[in-house]
């Protein structure tokens, strides 16, 4: 049930300059990517890699916030037998 709920969440991770965006669901499954045309020049490879790292970090932060918001305290208690 929780896994299905996570799959329904769509989260965008974005590089600091907005030129690279990744789209993943809450179950950490890759869905799509956007790379600005300016980065499609072969000389921009390092910038693409940096943008991907930034976008993934942004996605991870957003996912953690989503999970925390969805945590049901009663579910937690039952998971730990309390």
Say what the pLDDT of residue 2 is: 76
Residue 76: the pLDDT is 65
pLDDT of 6 reads 84
Global pTM value? 0.75
**Residue of higher predicted confidence among 50 and 67:** 50
pLDDT higher than 70, residue 43: yes
The CA-based dihedral angle spanning residues 36, 40, 44, 45, taken in that order and rounded to the nearest 10 degrees? 110
């Amino acid at each position: 049930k929780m896994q299905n709920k996570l799959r329904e969440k769509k989260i965008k991770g974005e590089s600091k300059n907005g030129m690279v965006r990744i789209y993943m669901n809450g179950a950490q499954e890759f869905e799509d990517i956007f790379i600005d045309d300016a980065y499609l020049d072969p000389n921009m490879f390092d910038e693409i890699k940096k943008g991907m790292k930034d976008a993934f970090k942004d996605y991870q932060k957003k996912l953690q916030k989503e999970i925390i918001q969805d945590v049901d305290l009663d579910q937690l208690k039952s998971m730990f037998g309390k």
